[in-house]
Amino acid sequence: MARRIYLSFHVERDLWRANQVRGAQVLAGLERVGFFVPAEYQAAKVANEAVRDGLIAARLEGTSVTVVLIGKQTATRDWVQREVELSVARGNGLMGIRVHHLRDHEGACDWFPGPTPSVPAGVSFPIYEWDHDLRRLAREIEAVGRRADARRAGREQTRG
C-alpha cells in the first residue's frame, strides 16, 4: 500500500514543476496525494487564517508524509510555511525535493536552488534533488513515513 502524502509547493510559480513530480508513477492518483489545485488556492488565499488552516488541515487528513517541492522562492511563501507547521503539528514526516531545475510553463528553469524552508528545531527534513529515480523516491517517502510512525507510537506510549 502506498503512503499517503501531502505536496506543498509555491502554487503560482512551481505548478508545472509540481505536476512533473505528481505525474511520476510513485505519486499517481489523487487518493494518495493531498494538494491544492490553482483554483482552490486562489480562493483560499483570500480567506482568513482560520479558514486557510482548516483547508490545509482537510488536505492533510489521512496523510503521513509531507513532501515540500522546493523551488527558487518556496521558502519565502507564508502558505508553504504554514503547511509545514501544520504537518509537523499533526505528526507528518517531512522531506524536501529540489525542483528548481525542472522547466516551468515557459520552458525556463532556475539555475540555482532556492533556500530550504525552515522547520522547527529537532525535526528531520531530508532534502533530495528530483532525479526521476522513482524507486529511490518511494524508498525515501517510506523511510520518512516510518520515522513519523515511530514518533507517533512513542508519543502514544508516553501518554498511556
Count of beta carbons in the 10 Å neighbourhood of residue 139: 12
Q: What is the pLDDT of residues 32-82, one digit of tens each?
A: 456 666 666 666 666 677 887 888 888 898 889 999 999 999 999 988 999
Which ranges of the chain does DSSP label H, i.e. alpha helix? 11-22, 38-45, 49-60, 78-90, 134-159
- Which domains does the chain carry? 5-159 (3.40.50)
Q: What is the pLDDT of residues 101-113, one digit of tens each?
A: 988 889 888 989 8
